[in-house]
Chain A
Amino acid sequence: MNNLKVKDLTLRVGSKVILKSISLEFEPSRWVSVIGPNGAGKTSLVEAISGVGMAPKETVFIGERDLTTFSERERATLVSFVPQNPVIPRGLSVFDYLCLGRTAYQGAWRSAGPEDKRITEDVAGRLGVSSLFERELASLSGGERQRVVLGRSLVQQCPILVLDEPTAALDIRHQLETLRLLRQEVDQQGICVVSTLHDLTLAGQFADRLVVLDDGQVAIDGPAHEVIRNPKLSSIYGLRLEVVTVDGSEIVVPAPR
């Protein structure tokens, strides 16, 4: 019903074609990860579907409605977005930062009400950041910070959550922790997650479906465990990839020559 649809999306910057006639559909309770080499257009794609990029009219739809026809406020109740490098304002407490996620539900003037606070506390509980409420955002560690940024996007209560490289700045433990939290949101809250991910192993383990972009086009699109075994993947990355199984988990590794 509120499915996110991309129809024949072509994006040019100057004379350079960034995305070429991309058509995709995203469903609730599913996690789709966009993968591909650097410069394949991953970020442009997620920015376009989150509404912050410059998608042309009639290319991205929520339900049957063109995304460009929504007001900022309407859109912010349907799609939330976590950029690769979120701005971390100084002098702001974690709680106040989380409450920014309620902006679309508040008047221009009113500050957070009891309902906003309840939702914020609820999300913070799920992400385990309640104990950080009084801390200054800028003083948090990278892992804590990423959970709080994720929290702000969940406080928006959108059926669709778009993330650009949510684990880029994290060590391996915090990568796993962040991805587990996201998986939990997909399974328990039924949201639709669209993310870009660099790590093919993690993409294969956590996402339901992988969309592989190559040079602005969809090269492979399918269930995660199938896509990581697709021989085309090796040629896209320009090196031989193999899947090995360790204790039942599938690991994607570049094969030695």
Chain B
Amino acid sequence: MSTFADRKGVRRFLVGAVFTLLIAIALGLLVGPTGISPMAIIRNIAIHLGLQKGRIDPLENTILWQIRAPRLVLGVLVGSMLSVAGATYQGIFRNPLADPYVLGAASGAGLGATVALLGLGGVVGANVNLISPFAFVGALVAVFATWFVGGRGSRSNGATLILSGVSVATLLTSAQTLLQQHASATSLAHVYIWLLGSLASASWSTVEGLTTYVLVSVAICMLVARQLDVMSVGEVEARTLGLNVRRLRIISLGAASLGTAAVVSAVGLIGFVGLVVPHIVRMAVGTSYRRILPLSALVGASFLVFADTLARTVLAPSELPIGVITALVGAPIFVVVLRNREVWL
């Protein structure tokens, strides 16, 4: 493995990533508790495209396009968003341990969801419909709090931000634990399940709600890819090269956090994707974010779609939390890649 991949190597990786995503999507469409044969799926698609005449089976049609398809699209959105956000955080902080939750988005969302599920001492009644908006607001409030504590002032830098992210996360997690003290076992189970993440709630309306956030956030992260490359020489030298580090930090962290908050509020906390995928991509194609960001989006999408397909088939008809799968599958892959690494950050 060369330290910086040549153009040909990058193109090969790109082709491989696209191909893998297509397989992941095809597999996701094919697999499920209701058996639909590949031929039936091809026939259904052909009829929709007007290539073939015939009658569409309404049950098959509903399962394919109202249940499986939105779930696949959701997986693509979530996987690419978490991976792009993770890569962006790693670039801004020049820290290989950074992931989408480094600024406290996860614990903020967790607290928000818990408040929605358990209520808040008579001030807010428990309401399942509020989980998503509360988690979204919680994640954003947490990120703002982190920024307020460690991101302002001339002496702030990446390290102060990460440290205040850790503090805010710890504070919010203990607040959440406090709330859970008086909750019933059933509500606790709800909170627990939500925290582990799942795409089971997927519908076209979930997808619709998420698409704008993900597209805007991913686009902004990719637009600053070149500036993230300049950050590779550190904050001080990047400034002497003419980079407005403060502005870059606000723009990219803002975009990545907004996207992460939207994703978390829709599917809960899915760990490991945002940490692992950028590293795998980096080790394959080198350290330039102009390559890492788009390829992370692709690889992250495949990874999540695969993981979700596994999550809903291993114990079918019941489902495993997808967070369990991403960690269970992701960790060994990561260990293998890590042991063969030549490029770090």
Residues in chain A within 8 A of chain B (CB atoms): 50-52, 54, 71-73, 75-77, 79-81, 83, 86-87, 89-93, 96, 100-101, 103-104, 106, 108-111, 136, 139, 156
Q: Does A108 lie within 8 Å of B4, measured CB to CB?
A: no
Q: Determine the distance from Cα of A83 to Cα of B236 in the docked complex, in whole angstroms.
A: 9
Partner of A111, one of B4, B226, B244: B226
The docked-state distance in angstroms from the alpha carbon of A104 to that of B238 is 10
**Assuming A89-B232, A90-B287, is B224 touching A76 (CB within 8 A)?**
no
Query: Complex: how many Å from CA A36 to CA B199?
Result: 65
CA distance A52 to B233 in the complex (A): 14
Do A81 and B240 form a contact, CB below 8 Å, given A90-B287, A91-B3, A92-B287?
A: yes
The contact string, 1 if C-beta is below 8 Å from chain A, for chain B 208-238, is 0000000000000001101101101110110
Question: Total contacts A to B, CB within 8 angstroms?
Answer: 80
Please indicate which of the listed interface residues B4, B237, B244 has the most CB atoms of chain A within 10 Å of its own CB: B237
Taking the nearest CB of chain A, how far is it from the CB of B154, in angstroms? 6
Q: Contacts A89-B232, A91-B287, A136-B4 hold; do A108 and B237 have CB atoms under 8 A apart?
A: no
Asked if A71 and B345 sit within 8 Å, CB to CB, the answer is no
Chain B residues near A100: list those with CB within 8 A. 229-230, 233, 241
CB A37 to nearest CB in B, in angstroms, measures: 24
Taking CB atoms, residues of chain A closer than 8 Å to B242 are: 72-73, 75-77, 103-104, 156
A92 touching B4, Cβ below 8 Å? yes
Contact of B233 with A156 in the complex, beta carbons under 8 Å: no
Cβ of B343 within 8 Å of any chain A Cβ, yes or no, is yes
B154 cross-chain contacts in A, Cβ below 8 A: 54
CB contacts (< 8 Å) of B227 on chain A: these are 108
In the assembled complex, the Cα of A77 lies from the Cα of B245 at a distance in Å of 16
Interface residue B10 (Cβ < 8 Å from any Cβ of A): no
Contact A76 B241 (CB under 8 A): yes
B239 at the interface (CB under 8 A from A): yes
**CB nearest to B234 among chain A residues:** A87
Given contacts A91-B287, A108-B224, A109-B226, contact A72 B236 (CB under 8 A): no
Q: Is the CB of B240 within 8 A of A80?
A: yes
B241 in complex: contacting residue of A90, A91, A103, A108, CB < 8 Å: A103
Residues A156 and B239 in contact, CB atoms below 8 Å apart: no
CB distance from B95 to the nearest CB of A (A): 13
With contacts A91-B286, A109-B226, A111-B226 taken as known, whether A72 is within 8 angstroms of B239 at the C-beta atoms is: yes
Is B243 located at the chain interface by the 8 A CB criterion? yes
Asked if B286 and A72 sit within 8 Å, CB to CB, the answer is no
State A203–B323 Cα separation when bound (angstroms).
61
On whether the beta carbons of A73 and B244 are closer than 8 Å, the reply is yes
CB closest chain-B residue, reference A91: B287
A52 near B224 with CB under 8 A, answer: no
Cα distance A109–B224 in the bound complex, in angstroms: 7
B345 partner residues in chain A, CB cutoff 8 A: 89-90
Knowing that A50-B240, A91-B286, A103-B242 touch, tell me 14 more A-B residue pairs with CB under 8 angstroms.
A52-B239, A52-B240, A72-B243, A72-B245, A81-B237, A83-B237, A87-B232, A87-B234, A87-B237, A96-B288, A100-B229, A103-B230, A108-B226, A139-B3
Contacts of A104 in B (CB 8 A): 241-242
B19 within 8 Å of A by Cβ? Answer: no
In the assembled complex, B65 has its CB within 8 A of some CB on chain A:
no
Contact B244 A90 (CB under 8 A): no
Question: Can you pick out 21 interface pairs between chain A and chain B where the beta carbons lie within 8 Å of each other?
Answer: A72-B239, A75-B242, A76-B241, A77-B242, A79-B240, A81-B237, A83-B236, A87-B237, A90-B343, A90-B344, A91-B3, A91-B286, A92-B287, A100-B229, A100-B241, A101-B241, A103-B242, A103-B243, A108-B224, A109-B223, A111-B290
CB-defined contacts of A72 to chain B, threshold 8 Å: 239, 242-245
Q: Assess whether B244 is in contact with A71, with CB atoms less than 8 Å apart.
A: yes
Residues from chain A with a CB closer than 8 A to the CB of B343 are: 90-91
What chain B residues lie within 8 Å of A76 (beta carbons)? 239-242
A159 to chain B, nearest CB (A): 15
Q: What is the CA–CA distance of A71 and B244 in the complex, to the nearest angstrom? A: 8
Task: Write the chain B residue with the least CB distance to A89.
Answer: B232
Q: Which of B4, B154, B229, B233 has the most CB of A within 10 A?
A: B233
How many Å from the CB of B65 to the closest CB on chain A?
38
Cβ of B244 and Cβ of A136 under 8 Å apart?
Answer: no
Complex formed: what's the CA distance from A54 to B236 in Å?
Answer: 12
Within the assembled complex, what's the spacing in Å between the Cα atoms of A250 and B345?
46
The 6 closest A-B pairs by CB, nearest first: A104-B242, A76-B242, A91-B287, A89-B232, A87-B234, A81-B240
CA distance A80 to B286 in the complex (A): 27
Min CB gap A218→B, angstroms: 24
CB distance from A59 to the nearest CB of B (A): 15
Nearest-CB residue, chain B, relative to A110: B226
- How distant is B108 from chain A, measured CB to nearest CB, in Å? 30
Q: Which residues of A contact B232 (CB under 8 A)?
A: 87, 89, 92
Q: Which residue of A lies closest to B248 (CB)?
A: A108
Once the chains are docked, how many angstroms separate the CA of A79 from the CA of B232? 20
Q: Which residues of B contact A90 (CB under 8 A)?
A: 3, 287, 343-345
> Given the complex, which residues of B lie within 8 Å of A92, measured CB to CB?
4, 232, 287
Q: Which residues of B contact A111 (CB under 8 A)?
A: 226, 290
